[in-house]
Every structure is written in C-alpha cells, then in structure tokens.
Amino acid sequence: MNVVHICRNLAGSTVFPQLFEALAEKGLKQRVFVPEKTDNNRGKNVPRNVPTEYAVTLRTSDTLFFHLKAARTVPWIQSCMGPEETDLIHAHTLFTDGSIARELGRKWNRPFVVTLRYSDVAVIWKYEWHLRPMARTILREAAGVICLSPVVREQVIRFLPESEQASLADKCRVIPNGLDPAWLEGARARTMPTGPVRVGFAGGMNRRKRPMDALAAVHLADAGEGRFVFTGCGAGKLEPQVRGKLHPGDSLKGRIEGRADMSAFYESCDVLLVPSSAETFGMVYLEAMSRGVPVLYTRGQGFDGQFPEGEVGFSVGCGNRREQAARLRQILEGYEERSRRCIRHAGEYVWPRITDRFMAAYLSALE
C-alpha cells in the first residue's frame, strides 16, 4: 500500500513524525507533502526514512480561500509523482489538507481519508458562511474520516443533515494520538500521598491552557489546610501573573523540554490538572498517565471520552474552579488502583498499537 500524506502542520508538531515513522515500521510505503507559507520551516520535524517534500504554496491572504491553496499545491504534488505511485491520500486537517487531498483525489481518481481535530470542528462553527459547505463536501467525498476522540466524532456526525449521519458514522473512526513506548519504561503505580498532594500543571502560560484556573482550584481544594500544593511547568505571558499568586509550598518550574525531563516532572506530581479551554487531544494527560499519575481533563475537549468517568481521572468544566477543586479531593479516593489503571491504559496508546488502527482504517477506505 502506498499512502500520500498532506500535512500542513508537520513543522509545528512532533506527533506527525512519530506517526509516520511508526507506520513505516509496519511496512507502509509513504510520501509526505508539506505545503508552507514560508521557507522557514523547511527541514523541521522531518520523519526518519520517510520521503518528505516541502514547498511554499500557501499565502497569508489565503486564510479562508482554501480552493486557492489547493490550486497551487496540487500541481506541485503532481510534478513530484504520479497516480500510479499512490493508492490512498491522507489529509491531516479538514480544511487546508482536506481541500488539497480532495482535489488531488479527483485528478488521480484515488480515495482520500481526512483526520479531524478539535480545532477543525471549532472553525466549522466559527465561519459558518464560508466554510460549512466545503467542510460538508470534504466529509461526504472522503472514503474515511478519522477523529482523535469520541467527542469530536459525535460533533462531526451531527454536522451533516440527519439523512446523511448514518453514512458518515459508518466511515468515521476514533484513532487518538500515540505515545512513544519509552514513556512507560520503569513505570510503577503510585502510593497514596502521605504529605501535601502535589497537583501538576503542564502547558503554556496562556489563556487557552488556563493555568490561573488550575492554581485557584488547588487553593480552593486546600482551603488553608496544607493538603494540596501547586507545581507547574510552562512559560508564556501569564507566567508573572501565576508566580504572583503562588502560595508557600507552590512552585513553577518554567519551560521544560524533552521526554526525560518531562517524565521527571510528572514523577514529581501526584495528580495532573490542565483545564484548557480548547484541547485537540491533550498528550500531557497520556504522558502523565504513563507515569501512574491520575488526570483531570476538560469536559467536552479532545481527551474527554477516551475513558469512562473515574477510570483514570475525571472531566471538569472549563472555568469551573469549584468543580475542579472538588474533583481534586475526589480523585484521591481509590488512588492507588486508579494509578495502576493509568499505566495499563497508557500502554494501550503506544504507537505500535495506534498504527494498527491506522492500517485498518486505510484498508477499509480502499475497500
């Protein structure tokens, strides 16, 4: 099987190269095309042993005119290879990648699949006048639709008219992001904290990640009793504001990069709370779970619905600091067993298992 990937966001995410490398290990023949606005990202995050091509075919002025992006990008791809080298096209976002894959698929008479992320769904509703017709066309013509979470799948299915929802549901699969198996090396279940419960926050110090909510929830849960402390990592515009609200025992470590250092950070936490207002998937939750750390994640966002409520943690309302505080206290009930479940379930998300699901989705699309 030969798959062509259209991946506009390759340079900005380490998830994509991990996916392509893991698929290569399954024996899949691939070629990655990266349409860009500038040449600055050329060579960033290139997957090992997977042919990857960059070209500047996008313009800032094209923001909502996706047909122009496709009109410039498709001829470039056609100049690099022909339809005889392709069985399937995979678009990794709905709009930019999806519009290109749809046009290329039509010219080559090849099927395409499209992955939808939370940001894609949010954009559908934000720009109703311009994007909904194109989004519906891409979803109708796609041979397969991949969603990162059950929440996104349900939202996407309801996007089409009721008469078409069953057809979309049949070709719509949930395949989450994967985890490097190295995250699980030496993992062990946690014991019930004997001192103050260390509530971790990992993410940018910005409004979307809501670090001030996490900090306030910790202080509400603690209520001056010394039971909970905040320990965060990340950098951004809100960092001075967060530092100004720290209580004795709280800490903020700034930016941390690399698996080894992040793994050490999670080891220093007893619970992870990241109450983002928007989350495509939320790798931080999965990473924390791999170290046996129960998690609190935002209700209705990318990670919600991956597990039954209470299995590895709880969903919380974005902006609802009192609920977040209540869940911090509740998550300690059955803590050790929940920690064991976190490690076990994180093992279900390692890339070799996730790529099996992608291979099944590709075969289904070809059929």
Burial of 346 (0-12, 13-18, 19+ CB in 10 A): buried
Same domain (yes/no): 237, 144: no
Q: How far apart are CA 278 and CA 146, in angstroms?
A: 19
Same domain (yes/no): 174, 26: yes
Same domain (yes/no): 126, 196: no
pLDDT per residue as tens digits for the range 218-242:
999 999 999 999 999 999 999 999 9
Single-letter amino acid code for the residue at 211: P
Same domain (yes/no): 116, 159: yes
Q: What is the mean pLDDT of the chain?
A: 93
Same domain (yes/no): 59, 152: yes
What is residue 276's predicted lDDT score, i.e. its pLDDT? Answer: 92
What is residue 155's predicted lDDT score, i.e. its pLDDT? Answer: 85
Same domain (yes/no): 168, 195: no
| Residue 63 banded pLDDT, cuts 50, 70, 90 | low
Residue 140, Ramachandran bin (φ over 0: left; ψ between -120 and 50: alpha; else beta): alpha
Q: How far apart are CA 123 and CA 357, in angstroms?
A: 27
What is residue 151's predicted lDDT score, i.e. its pLDDT? Answer: 84
- In this structure, what CATH number is given to the domain that contains residue 236? 3.40.50.2000
Average pLDDT over residues 313-327: 97
Same domain (yes/no): 283, 206: yes
Beta-carbon contacts of residue 367 (< 8 Å; ≥ 6 apart): none
Residue 5: pLDDT above 60?
yes
| Residue 352 banded pLDDT, cuts 50, 70, 90 | very high
Same domain (yes/no): 135, 284: no
Residue 174: pLDDT above 90?
yes
Rounded (10°) angle between helices 351-366 and 15-25: 70
The total of other beta-carbon atoms located within 10 Å of residue 53's CB is 14
What is residue 302's predicted lDDT score, i.e. its pLDDT? Answer: 78
DSSP string, 155-223: HHHHHS-HHHHHHHHHHEEE-PPPB-GGGGTT--PPPPPSSSEEEEEES-SSTTT-HHHHHHHHHHHHT
Residue ranges making up the domain that contains 241: 181-348
Residue 365: pLDDT above 80?
yes
Report how many domains make up the chain.
2
Same domain (yes/no): 22, 127: yes
Same domain (yes/no): 101, 166: yes
Burial of 298 (0-12, 13-18, 19+ CB in 10 A): buried
As beta bridge partners, residue 33 has 6, 53
Q: How far apart are CA 299 and CA 210, in angstroms?
A: 14
pLDDT per residue as tens digits for the range 9-23:
999 888 999 999 999
Place of tokens 């939750």: 285
Euclidean distance between the first and final Cα of the chain, in Å?
12
Q: What percent of the chain has pLDDT over 70?
A: 97
Contact criterion met (CB below 8 Å) for 3 and 50: no
Same domain (yes/no): 141, 73: yes
Same domain (yes/no): 106, 168: yes
User: What order of strands is seen across the sheet that includes strand 313-316?
Assistant: 251-252, 228-233, 197-202, 271-274, 295-298, 313-316
Alpha-carbon distance values, 29 to 32, 55, 73 (Å): 10, 21, 21
Out of 47-61, 81-95, 150-164, the most confident range is 81-95
pLDDT per residue as tens digits for the range 267-307:
999 999 999 987 778 899 999 999 999 999 999 887 888 99
Q: How far apart are CA 51 and CA 24, in angstroms?
A: 11
Beta-carbon contacts of residue 287 (< 8 Å; ≥ 6 apart): 179, 183, 202, 262, 263, 266
pLDDT per residue as tens digits for the range 43-57:
899 999 999 999 999
Average pLDDT over residues 91-95: 94
Encoding tokens for residue 44?
């960033």
